[in-house]
Amino acid sequence: MTTKDDIARLIHLFKFPGAQVHWTNHYGVLNRVQLDARRTAGAASDAANPLSCLAEIFNDYAQFTPQNEMVAYEADPVSGKPRKKTPWESNGEEWEELSVQTYDIDPCNLGRRHIYRDAAWIKSTWNDVRKYLYQVFQQYNRSGQRSGDMGEWCSPEEQQRWVRAAFWKGGSTNTMVCFPTVMIYSIAVLQQGDFEGISRSMPAGTGADNSVADPNAENETAQAKRKRKKRGPYKKRENNYKNSNEEGMLQALREGTQTEAQLSALRLILEYGTQQQQAEAMKKISAVAYGSKRKK
């Protein structure tokens, strides 16, 4: 089961300097050498298997030890390693309000170190986290547009707006995103440019709840439907014209076949018939060749 500590640790992994090359390889395009080296060892193999490298870093609780950025830490007198202060304290005035929501998040929860996470978990979970971050950032921007000028990023006013975006509900629906407290906490790890980059990289319509769907996208869809309806009559006329041409060609073939059969029979009469029959045959051949009788 994935917990909020796992999600917070994954967000820290996205910003961890030692993991940046693997994130770049994950979203980049592999060359021929890297593709051929996916089952070998070395730098080329790491580039071809970035998710496995990210999972290895994630599972290493000895080397990868992120801390909760919103609360204060102190040194453990026994081990010398950092630990949260007891009782907890906010890590500065800027996080006093938000730390009330996030003080219990532990990105380096040693109780989770024996749970192995593989490349598939990294990929699927990060895709979900991106959707949640995208939704919160979209709702945050919408709330700012409704209330006038937006303040400075991470200012007290913007933090309140961020909390409302994380816990936003539409009508009778449940909470819009999972792990809302971690989404609140993400503002301490990610920069505004990170959220904007995630929004740009999300495919259209991905992760957006129906209740917060982009009205411009809905208008574009309605316009596309109207265009398709307008093309309907022209398409029908084109089909009718095509069908009439086909019927005319079939009729001409049928008539031509009948005429050839008549001429063949008349040639036999001319060759083997009596004089009277030959005379009648010549009249019929003239009628076929020159059409109906000329007007006097």
Q: Determine the Cα–Cα distance for residues 167 and 136; give it in Å rounded to an integer.
A: 9
Q: Which residues pair with 200 in a beta bridge?
A: none
Amino acid identity, residue 265? A
State the CB neighbour count (10 A cutoff) for residue 139. Answer: 24
* Stated length of the chain: 296
pTM summary value: 0.64
* Predicted confidence pLDDT, tens digits, the chain (296 residues): 899 999 999 999 999 999 998 898 888 776 777 666 666 666 556 677 889 999 999 999 999 999 999 999 999 898 888 999 999 999 988 899 999 999 999 999 999 999 999 999 999 999 999 999 998 998 888 876 545 555 677 788 888 889 988 887 665 555 567 899 999 999 999 998 899 888 776 655 555 443 334 444 445 555 555 555 555 554 555 555 556 666 666 666 666 666 777 777 777 777 777 777 778 878 877 777 666 554 44
